[in-house]
Structure 1
Amino acid sequence: MQTSNMLAGKVALVTGAGGGIGREIAVAMATAGADILINDIGVSLTGEGGSGSPAEQTKQIIEQRGGRAAISTESVSEWASAKRSVEAALDAFGRIDIVVNNAGILRDVIFHKMSPEDWLAVINVHLNGSFFISRAAAEHFRKQESGAYVHMTSTSGLVGNFGQANYSAAKLGITALSKSIALDMARYNVRSNCIAPFAWSRMTSSIPADTPEQKARVAKLQQMTPDKNAPLAVYLASDAASHVSGQVFAARMNEIFLMSQSRPIRSVHRSEGWTPDLIAEHGMPALKASLLPLDRSPDVFSWDPV
């Protein structure tokens, strides 16, 4: 199957498509034949300011390559504006078939110093934004009995990371949202999947590079360009992936991972029931060998990208 027409006749709404991973996904989907609604409000990494110019740049790239694109500069973090973005796709192209929830900001702070404002800002864009855009599109997907969601999650949520309680919580929440969408909308032939992308982009440019070790890590990350995530997004949005739903993938350089989801790994049983003392004496020692380590994403993905 040729990528060049894998999304022919479809309309995709890509949030945060003014740069980085979102732009590469939007361009790749346009190359695969889709019409693109570019959603981007042009804010800074921390969610401040606002300019439509990044979206305009993405639109120019798509049109220079023979594709069709329109722009919405509405925020994803408000229900009314999210609905307007979906309506913009319908106004421009008459339908909507694909939603890519990619928009995001960062407010990295160690947990005990994180302000409520830092927490809410990140949750509102990532988690609430993914819900609002997805929910606004759901009515149209349900009526036409087809549609595909591709959500950007992160190993910061799937595994863990320092100083990202807000981001990690939002990203792990998105995986649960995706699974719920997949379950609830399967009857309408609608699919929902997640990608945990690895890429050097604006979202990772805030990683410190002060020590030799940090500089070496950043150098590795810089090899993982945002476009490496786009082929998987195109595939998951296409009819070729009609049998794939409720899954979590990761894309890292030239590697694609199917990620595990929470399932029981070991149990202990006592017919008489448990007391706290019995748990301490017998229950936890039996489970101890299966306890998961307090690791982070770089500990799990510890080898060099190839």
Structure 2
Amino acid sequence: MSVRFDGQVAIVTGAGNGLGRSHALELARRGAKVVVNDLGGARDGSGASLSAAEQVVAEIEGFGGEAIANGANVTDYTEVENMVGSAVERWGRVDILVNNAGILRDKSFAKMDLDDFKQVMDVHLMGSVNCTKAVWELMRKQNYGRIAMTTSSSGLYGNFGQSNYGAAKMALVGLMNTLCLEGEKYGIKVNCLSPTARTRMTEDIIPDPRVLDLMTPESVTAGLLALVAEDAPNRFILGAGAGAFACARIVETGGVYLSPQQQTPEAVQAQMESIADGGDQKEIYGGLNQTVKFVQKAAHALDVELN
């Protein structure tokens, strides 16, 4: 069965170039009406122009799709609310939100100005928070919504010179982990895309044209559309790049229990190998379940019966 979005309305932030442009075009080709949001700034977030978004809208209209351009700054909640309002006024609903807008201000942590750290956090994290908040109640009332956060391997695994970017991108995983719980009963699914592609954000980092030729935005978009489709998963971190796809997971080992007499840093150090043993590691769904696991482990060791 083909993936279609007929009758659905999508908002894609940062959609004037690169991945966002690719996402917006393919959503429109598959039937969605699209709000093409782009502030039109440089990679570091400076400047503003609606021309990039308008060009994408023209492309969509050129193949018979419907789209509107929007220049809202995702860090300004009032502008974001107005963007969502314009989509509802035009089409009556919002079904899909793709949080893609982002900037780069790379430097080693020792050399990084705190304003550059805050600005990157504000665009990636608070920009996604603002857009999600602006559609959340609407999606709850509709009893349907699909939201994609854009995380990164820099957040999941680290990358030199990107402490600000990595911190913001990992924060989006935490945001997803809670929103998927809160939205589930309202038909809202929240996932994360961890992309790598040939865009203006990566062209200076990966100079080899042979590698860049493999890293098409379109290959990543295939994964994005799977995350916002009607039968999408929930709480899924999808890595995508150069036509390859993988699932990233946060897992926790089974761990060990130490008696009160053993609960010392020396004993913890001595047990590090056992603590790190991944033989029975698993994903934990919801933070409270970690507490339940720890208490059950302690109760079992102490032969205490829990109700």
TM-score bracket, normalised by the shorter chain, equals: 0.7 to 0.9
Root-mean-square deviation (CA), in Å?
A: 1.6
Identify if the C-alpha distance between structure 1 residues 278 and 12 changes in structure 2 by more than 3 Å, giving closer, same or farther.
Answer: same
Provide, for residues 146-175 of structure 1, a one-character-per-residue CA deviation record: whole Å limited to 9, x for no partner. Answer: 110011110110111110001001111111
Say whether the 8 Å CA contact 1:32–1:234 is kept in structure 2: no
Is 2:215 aligned against 1:224?
yes
Deviation of 1:234 after TM superposition, in Å, equals 1.7
Deviation of 1:81 after TM superposition, in Å, equals 1.4
Provide, for residues 20-61 of structure 1, a one-character-per-residue CA deviation record: whole Å limited to 9, x for no partner. Answer: 000000000000100000110100000001111110111111
Bigger-Rg structure (1/2): 2
Instruction: Give the structure, 1 or 2, with the largest relative contact order (CA under 8 Å, sep 6 or more).
Output: 1
Letter of the aligned partner of 2:253 in structure 1? Answer: I
Deviation of 1:208 after TM superposition, in Å, equals 6.5
Match of 1:121 in 2: 119
C-alpha distance in 2, partners of 1:135/1:286? 42
Deviation of 1:221 after TM superposition, in Å, equals 3.6
C-alpha distance in 1, partners of 2:127/2:242? 27
TM-score (norm 1): 0.86
SS at match of 1:16: coil
Identify if the C-alpha distance between structure 1 residues 208 and 257 changes in structure 2 by more than 3 Å, giving closer, same or farther.
Answer: closer
Q: Which moved more, 1:82-91 or 1:25-34?
A: 82-91
Unaligned runs of 5+ in 1: 210-214, 291-306
SS at match of 2:262: coil
Letter of the aligned partner of 2:219 in structure 1? Answer: K
Provide, for residues 218-245 of structure 1, a one-character-per-residue CA deviation record: whole Å limited to 9, x for no partner. Answer: 642442111111122222222132xx11
C-alpha distance in 1, partners of 2:13/2:246? 23
Q: Which moved more, 1:229-238 or 1:151-160?
A: 229-238
Deviation of 1:285 after TM superposition, in Å, equals 4.9
Calculate percent identity across the aligned residue pairs.
36
Identify if the C-alpha distance between structure 1 residues 286 and 94 changes in structure 2 by more than 3 Å, giving closer, same or farther.
Answer: closer
Is 2:244 aligned against 1:255?
yes
Match of 2:291 in 1: none
C-alpha distance in 2, partners of 1:207/1:191? 33
Match of 1:2 in 2: 2
Match of 2:287 in 1: none
Identify if the C-alpha distance between structure 1 residues 60 and 169 changes in structure 2 by more than 3 Å, giving closer, same or farther.
Answer: same
Say whether the 8 Å CA contact 1:72–1:85 is kept in structure 2: yes
Q: Which moved more, 1:122-131 or 1:252-261?
A: 252-261
Match of 1:179 in 2: 177
C-alpha distance in 2, partners of 1:8/1:232? 18
Letter of the aligned partner of 2:36 in structure 1? Answer: I
Match of 2:67 in 1: 69
TM-score (norm 2): 0.86
Provide, for residues 69-89 of structure 1, a one-character-per-residue CA deviation record: whole Å limited to 9, x for no partner. Answer: 001101001211111121121
Match of 1:207 in 2: 205
Letter of the aligned partner of 1:27 in structure 2? Answer: L
Letter of the aligned partner of 2:224 in structure 1? Answer: A
Say whether the 8 Å CA contact 1:76–1:133 is kept in structure 2: yes
Is 2:157 aligned against 1:168?
no
Q: Which moved more, 1:9-18 or 1:148-157?
A: 148-157
C-alpha distance in 2, partners of 1:112/1:30? 44
The size of the alignment, in residue pairs, is: 277
C-alpha distance in 2, partners of 1:167/1:268? 34
Match of 2:229 in 1: 238
1:1-150 matches, within 5 Å, as: 1-3=1-3, 6-150=4-148
C-alpha distance in 1, partners of 2:206/2:105? 14
Say whether the 8 Å CA contact 2:206–2:212 is kept in structure 1: no
Say whether the 8 Å CA contact 2:36–2:70 is kept in structure 1: yes
